[in-house]
Amino acid sequence: MNHILKIEDLHVTVGDKPILRGVNLTIQHGETHALMGPNGSGKSTLGLAIMGHPGYEITGGKIHLNDQDVLEMEADERARAGIFLAFQRPMAIPGVKMADFLRHATTNIRRPDRKEGEELIPMREFRKELKDRMAHLRMDVEFARRYVNDGFSGGEMKRAEILQLAMLQPKFAILDETDSGLDADAVRLASESIAEIGHQKMGLLIITHHDKLLEHNPPQFTHVMLGGRIVETGGPELADELHENGYDRIRKTYPEAEAANQEMLAEEATA
Amino acid sequence: MTTTTLSTFDAAGFESFLQERQEPQWLKEMRQQAWNQAEAMQWPERRHEEWLRTDIRMFQINRFGIPSSVASDVEPEQVAEAHQLRAGVETAGQIETLDSQIVNASLKETWKERGVLFGSLEDHCESQADLVREYLFSVTNTEHDKFAALHAATWAGGQILYVPRGVVIDEPLHIGSVLSGGGTDTTHTLVILEEGAEATLLHECNCLDPSASGLHLGGIEIIQKPNSHLRYVNLQEWGHKTFNFAMQKATVDRDATLQWTLAAMGSQLTKVNQSVDLVGPGANSQVNGVMFTEARQHIAYHTLQHHKAPNCRSDFLYKSAQQDNSRTVWRGMIKVDPEAQKTDGYQRNDNLVLSSNARADSIPGLEIEADDVRCTHGSTTAKVDEEQIFYARCRGFTRKEATRMIVSGFFQQIFDRITIDSVRDALGDAIARQVREYD
């Protein structure tokens, strides 16, 4: 089945400050999109708004997953509908083992109609699957016994997000700087893993500053965000250009968006 | 519901309570003395430091009766069904009480043959008079306050565990105390481990009707001789309209170890003094506590780790979570006497406040008179982080599932210290039952 995630004229504020000012983006299942842009342009906000973060108020626009109105759904319903966000800054949940967390999450995602208290995937079956996945991602099994993101290094957190992506197999995945905090080898491994898990099997929206993560995930579309809008969309060559030359051309071409971006950065600095 | 008129907590009531019981003279005198003390004492007031945070104006003792020996119409099966810690556990013996009356007491022959005593404390006041007289109220202070004195005067039923020198009981013993609606439990628990003895005691307090009122005036005394080892678990799930007052104290001698794990989940109002005295060199205590409150529950623990001898270690961890309009109070103290050099004392209380109307008072304390010691203490209070909940929801957890997971994660550190499966399961279930949904 061909799934579509469609974002139309999305406006988002935090407090009363506008962050997203009319984002349009359509992702087909199987496609890979790169989302780039300077700091403070609204990339992470887009990811969190798609997931339904309570701190981000939608003041206009629509998000649809096929014919479902995503904005009407709670965050867990969005996850169960098949939308995934790999967090830039994942949260620690002390005392909860990664394996237990994932077993519950995997059950809920695979059985979207599961009621609270109903049986989880059998332990033995789940353990085997998790072990296989981890071996595939070259992760130590010990990882599963650690508490969720608790005391993880930056790199370990990102690996853990990729493991979750692998287990949950969403229809659409937004990867928010899944390469930040990783050294060159780790980025290459992450890039390979993401390709293996998601390439052509999901709709991928990869938010990144660097080209390494895209090495194994060549995007069909590259979007540039500035001042809360997607100002330009191109093919893989646009990503290459931005990696090489930075955002100077973009900033000059879209002075209004650049002004909005500067304003947002200034407000962030004072806040 | 029993229809019999019960003795009330007044002079006439106490008189008929004494009359009704066929007890040795020494015990009658002991009770009378404690009663006279209680009569002479005022109820604690809020200006007393220990009661500053615990308001007992709602408590009216004349609503409750002194436990009587009148037969109850509750079936023994109902009492047994209330227990939670026995599932899947092969026990060496068990004692069940209902409103301080012994319903059932048993101990395997093999342990009887080796001199172990486990049964009704009342009965052993006759059959083991010398032993009981030596230890009863030798550890807790019956003059601490009016509640302590009333307990000493009116304790009924009760349990004794006596493990002779060198006897190692390798199966847990179980005590189940149950309150009926409106009932009173004045159980006194006396545990004596002779030199080199070992035992595990699972002790739980439950109710037939979770919403009914009740009164517990209790006492626990633990006496550990050198090199003895005790694991003691308390699960308190009295009904949520029950008043719970208790003095609980252990004295641990040379090279003995005590692991005392408690979960305070029930009652409307709890005020407990829990103390561990380390009286011989090398004594070691680990106290673990879980408190989880809801609605308007108020649970207050005043704890003491008293180092009276050198080279002792005391480890103390309480984790408390509060929801709705509930409140917990923890006031802890590590006291180190001048001769208790090389003390290693640790004290910590973590709180997870789950609603804006809930409250956690956490007051650690150190009183150190020796100069070569290591004592650390800490206290944290946090709210459930909305970002954690959102993160879990992005992984398909409902809000309630996320909250429940975060709360049980919070308590995990205590679970990690519990080595008995049935205890871990019962505690996990009790916590899960108590978690509600938050907006």
B93 to each of A51, A134, B107, B223, B426, how far by Cα in Å?
55, 47, 4, 20, 19
Amino acid identity for residue B318 in this structure: Y
A with B: how many residue pairs have Cβ under 8 Å apart?
A: 80
Q: Is residue B84 part of a domain?
A: yes
Write the class of the CATH domain A4-88+171-270: alpha beta
Indicate the number of domains in chain B.
Answer: 1
B408 touches chain A (CB under 8 A): yes
B17 touches chain A (CB under 8 A): no
- What tokens appear for B407 in the block? 């709360």
- The boundaries of the domain holding residue B149 are 7-384
- pLDDT tens digits for range B190-227: 999 999 999 999 999 999 998 889 999 999 999 999 99
Helix, strand, coil in percent for chain B, rounding step 5: 25, 40, 35
Question: Which chain B residue has its CA at the smallest distance from A90's CA?
Answer: B391
CA angle A181, A184, A185 (to 5 degrees): 110
Q: Cβ(B156)–Cβ(B102) under 8 Å?
A: no
Q: Note down pLDDT in tens along chain A; length 271 residues.
A: 689 999 999 999 998 899 999 999 999 999 999 999 998 899 999 999 999 999 999 999 999 999 999 999 999 999 999 999 999 999 999 999 999 999 999 999 999 999 888 899 999 999 999 999 999 998 999 999 999 999 999 889 999 999 999 999 999 999 999 998 888 888 999 999 999 998 889 999 999 987 888 988 999 999 999 999 999 999 999 999 998 999 999 999 999 999 999 998 888 777 6
Phi, psi of B308 (to 5 degrees): -110, -5
Query: Residue with structure tokens 């210290």?
Result: B417
Which letter does DSSP use for residue A92 in this model? Answer: P
Contact A95 B392 (CB under 8 A): no
B412 touches chain A (CB under 8 A): yes
Q: What residues of chain B lie within 8 A of the CB of A168, using their CB?
A: 395-396
Q: How many C-beta atoms lie closer than 10 Å to residue A196's C-beta?
A: 14
Q: What residues of chain A lie within 8 A of the CB of B402, using their CB?
A: 76
B265 to each of A135, B292, B312, B328, B412, how far by Cα in Å?
42, 5, 30, 11, 16
Regions of chain B with pLDDT less than 50: 1-4
Q: Is residue B423 part of a domain?
A: no
pLDDT value of position B208: 93
Contact B399 A76 (CB under 8 A): yes
Q: What residues of chain A lie within 8 A of the CB of B388, using their CB?
A: 91-93
B392 touches chain A (CB under 8 A): yes
Q: Is residue B403 part of a domain?
A: no
Q: Is residue B431 part of a domain?
A: no
Amino acid identity for residue B310 in this structure: P
Helix axes B25-40, B11-20, angle to 10 degrees: 170
Q: Cβ(B226)–Cβ(B198) under 8 Å?
A: no
Q: Cβ(B375)–Cβ(B337) under 8 Å?
A: no
Q: How many C-beta atoms lie closer than 10 Å to residue A124's C-beta?
A: 8
Amino acid identity for residue A213 in this structure: L
B37 touches chain A (CB under 8 A): no
* Residue A185, helix vs strand vs coil: helix
Give B388→chain A minimum CA distance, Å.
6
Q: Would you say the ipTM is above 0.90? A: yes
Query: Residue with structure tokens 């189940």?
Result: B176
B395 touches chain A (CB under 8 A): yes
Question: Which chain A residue has its CA at the smallest distance from B388's CA?
Answer: A91
Contact B396 A76 (CB under 8 A): yes
Give B79→chain A minimum CA distance, Å.
27
In this complex, which of B392, B400, B408 lies closest to A116 when CB atoms are compared?
Answer: B400
pLDDT value of position B1: 41
Q: What are the structural domain ranges in chain A?
A: 4-88+171-270, 91-151
Q: What residues of chain A lie within 8 A of the CB of B406, using their CB?
A: 93, 96
CA angle A156, A162, A164 (to 5 degrees): 105
B301, B368, B373, B376: which is closest to B335 by C-alpha? B368
Helix axes A98-110, B399-415, angle to 10 degrees: 160
Q: What residues of chain B lie within 8 A of the CB of A52, using their CB?
A: 393
- pLDDT tens digits for range B391-436: 999 999 999 899 889 998 999 989 888 888 888 888 888 888 877 7
Q: Which own/partner pairs from A108-116 qualify as long-range (CB within 8 Å, at least 24 positions apart)?
A: A108/A76, A108/A79, A108/A80, A108/B395, A108/B396, A108/B397, A108/B401, A109/A79, A109/A80, A109/A82, A109/A168, A109/A169, A109/A170, A109/B395, A109/B396, A112/A80, A112/A81, A116/B398, A116/B400, A116/B401
Phi, psi of B111 (to 5 degrees): -80, -35
Q: Cβ(B144)–Cβ(B247) under 8 Å?
A: yes
Q: What residues of chain B lie within 8 A of the CB of A75, using their CB?
A: 390, 393-394
Contact A96 B408 (CB under 8 A): yes
pLDDT value of position A1: 64
Beta bridge partners of A83: A172
- What tokens appear for B151 in the block? 């307990």
Q: Cβ(B300)–Cβ(B332) under 8 Å?
A: no
Taking the C-alpha atoms of residue B194 and residue B176, their distance in angstroms, rounded to an integer, is 24
Q: Is residue B47 part of a domain?
A: yes
Q: Is residue B405 part of a domain?
A: no
Q: Is residue B420 part of a domain?
A: no
Taking the C-alpha atoms of residue B415 and residue A66, their distance in angstroms, rounded to an integer, is 44
Q: Is residue B396 part of a domain?
A: no
